[in-house]
Amino acid sequence: MRSVLIINPNSTESMTNGLKPLVTALKFSDTKYTYFTAPSGPKSINNEDDAEESVTHCLPALRPLLDSHDAFLVACYSQHPLVPLLKNERAVKSARKPVTGIFEASVGTSLQIIHPDEKFGIVSTGKVWEDILTNATIKFLGSGLERFAGVETTGLNATELHDAPAEEVSRKMKQAVQRLLRKGSVGAICLGCAGMAGMDVMVREACVEELGSEGGEAVRIVDGVVAGVAWLEGAVRSGF
């Protein structure tokens, strides 16, 4: 049986648990999915320094698991350094096992599902991610930036998405989505944080409120975890 390891590089177990229903709903029943949470380190990855720090807590604990899995998903919405580092690990590189992050998977998926005259955008957490994810997208794409609408943020970090009052979370999520839509021709919105798992309902409501029923329902909502698992499943099955 194929085995995919889904890696949460922060140390908040509840965030890992929040990913499981998304993966189960895909019904890839002939693949085994296992989950890893950082044993220590940042509770929430709120900037690039947190991402770098998380590597020191994750990589030593991950190394014993590499031989027993066929593919790896890093569930942090950033150009997380674990992605290239895992690709260079002997157990991964020698067997050419696929590795991706949810950022890379969602951007790639968005470009494939939007129409030629549409753009994709990202809704994320704290304001610091506006520059970080914009720069990451520029670096990742290299060209084709005319199809990128930009990044809008909620002002909440990953843990606050679940700990703050529900009304506040909904309001700030919807405001960020609507700011993004007002940039025009947005055909897909990426959920720019693993902690946004399951929040697509709020995003859809914001789309309908801003664009009306027909226009709002037409916007594609891309969850990086779903996109990443689907890509890895295809890569493993195809032997890429």
Chain segment 18-31, per-residue pLDDT in tens: 999 999 999 999 99
Map out the domains of the chain with their CATH numbers: 2-102+225-238 (3.40.50.12500), 104-224 (3.40.50.1860)
In the predicted structure, residue 47 carries a pLDDT above the cut 80:
yes
Alpha helices in the chain (DSSP H): 13-25, 48-62, 82-87, 90-93, 102-113, 128-141, 160-163, 166-181, 200-218, 224-238
Question: Tens digits of per-residue pLDDT, 124-137?
Answer: 999 999 999 999 99
- How many beta carbons lie within 10 A of that of residue 144, not counting itself? 9
Q: Which of 60, 86, 90, 109 is nearest to 6 (CA)?
A: 86
Q: What whole-number distance in Å separates Cα of residue 62 and Cα of residue 56? A: 11
pLDDT at 143: 76
Residue 195: pLDDT over 90:
no
CA 8 to chain centre: 11
Mean pLDDT of the 207-218 span: 97
Q: Does residue 15 have a pLDDT over 80?
A: yes
Q: Which residue has the tokens 């470009």?
A: 111
Give the model's pLDDT for residue 16: 94
| pLDDT single digits (tens) 140-186 | 998 778 899 999 999 998 888 888 898 999 999 999 999 999 999 99
Q: Which two tokens stand for residue 29?
A: 């029943």
Query: 239 pLDDT exceeds 80?
Result: no
pLDDT of residue 122: 98
- Cα distance between residue 209 and residue 117, in whole Å: 22
Distances (CA, A) of 31 to 26, 66, 119, 224: 11, 16, 33, 19
Q: Which whole-number Å values give the CA distances from 28 to 19, 25, 32, 135, 145, in the listed order?
A: 15, 8, 8, 34, 33
The arithmetic mean of pLDDT across residues 107-118, rounded, is: 96
Residue 229 has pLDDT above 80, yes or no: yes
Q: pTM (2 decimals)?
A: 0.93
Mean pLDDT value across the chain:
94
CA distance 54 to 74: 12
Q: How large is the average pLDDT for residues 74-89?
A: 96
Residue 162 has φ and ψ, to the nearest 5°, of -110, -20
* pLDDT for 179: 97
Q: Mean pLDDT over residues 76-95, rounded?
A: 96
- The answer, yes or no, to whether residue 43 has pLDDT greater than 90, is yes
Listed in sequence order, the residues at least 6 apart from 93 whose beta carbon sits closer than 8 Å to its beta carbon are 87
Which residues fall within 8 angstroms of residue 240, CB to CB, at 6 or more apart?
98, 234
- In DSSP terms, 34 is beta-bridged to 5
